[in-house]
Amino acid sequence: MSGSGTDGGRVSPQQQLTADYMRMAGRRSNVHGLVEVDVTDARERIRAIEAETGTKLSFTAFVVACLAATVREQPHVQRYRDWGGRVHEFEDVDVNVLVERETDGERIGVPHVVRRANRRSVRSIHEEIRRVEADATAHPEPGLERLARRLPGVLRRQIWRLPRWFPGRWKALAGTVAVTSVGMFGTGSGWAVSPTNYTLQLTVGGIGTKPRLIDGELRSRELLSLTVTVDHDVVDGGAAARFVQRLGERLEGCHGLDTDATQ
């Protein structure tokens, strides 16, 4: 069908940036691990906290807290190499999260960086995410979107080379690791796989109920589909496997939900 020349046939600056991002991120040596994590106890604890306090904690905030604590323990998973081959390893964990917010009458996922997530409680991260979700004020057009409108494609796509050229600048702009959630847009279990410009990204899929052997008995459990993506040029397989194992232990062990989460 031919275009009519109206706005409906145009690609928005945000869509163009996303397309550029995916194209450039696909050049990384990304390795994807598809895992299932038992989050039955964590979800029960979140429901208990809601009953006790009247506040339903964000599941994303819980995942971000677990991720940040694990990265703090194993900081090599957020290393970046610059244009000169030098390795940059950051002390703080700045997590870029996809937050669902209403914009122009529709709900879309917008990126937001939770700074120093490794020093934050689940409650603190939750409150920040909720503030971003509820923010209905008009914001100036981001600088990257202005560039998407003005620069030719070959130059515009160089924006996404920042992690490889100037890791410090990338941290300031977009954080050090990312959490994106496809579960917010649908129901049921399932994984999603996508390229990323980060050396570490979690893609949170759906949660499904499945039987699992617990103490010799089959029990119904809530299993989270989680995709862990690492840049194999920076993180080797053994380190990635140990990271995934420790992250799973924190998620299944309700990290942060028995102390500061209720404060």
Task: Write down the domain spans for the chain.
Answer: 29-138+164-262
pLDDT tens, residue by residue, 142-172: 555 565 567 666 666 666 666 567 888 888 8
What local confidence, expressed as pLDDT, does residue 40 receive? 96
Secondary structure (3-state) at 56: coil
Secondary structure (3-state) at 90: coil
Percent composition of the chain: helix, strand, coil (DSSP 3-state, to 5)? 45, 25, 30
Q: What is the pTM of this model?
A: 0.81
Secondary structure (3-state) at 180: strand
Compute the average pLDDT of residues 54-79: 94
Q: How far apart are CA 173 and CA 175, in angstroms?
A: 6
CB neighbour list of residue 88: distance below 8 Å, 6 or more residues apart: 79, 80, 81, 82, 167, 168
What local confidence, expressed as pLDDT, does residue 169 receive? 83
Structure tokens at 43: 């979800």
How many helices and strands, by DSSP H and E, does the chain display?
A: 9, 8
pLDDT tens, residue by residue, 177-213: 999 886 544 455 677 777 788 899 999 988 988 888 8
What CATH class is the domain 29-138+164-262?
A: alpha beta
What local confidence, expressed as pLDDT, does residue 31 receive? 87
| Segment among 5-9, 46-50, 57-61, 93-97 with least mean pLDDT | 5-9
Q: How far apart are CA 235 and CA 24, in angstroms?
A: 19
- In 58-105 the beta strands, taken as DSSP E runs, fall at 80-81, 87-88, 95-103
* Chain Cα centroid distance, residue 115: 13
Higher per-residue pLDDT: 81 or 66: 66
Q: Confirm if 243 and 77 have CB atoms less than 8 A apart.
A: yes
Grade residue 234 by pLDDT with cuts at 50, 70 and 90: confident
Q: What is the mean pLDDT of the chain?
A: 81
As a whole number of angstroms, the longest Cα–Cα distance in the chain is 64
What local confidence, expressed as pLDDT, does residue 127 receive? 95
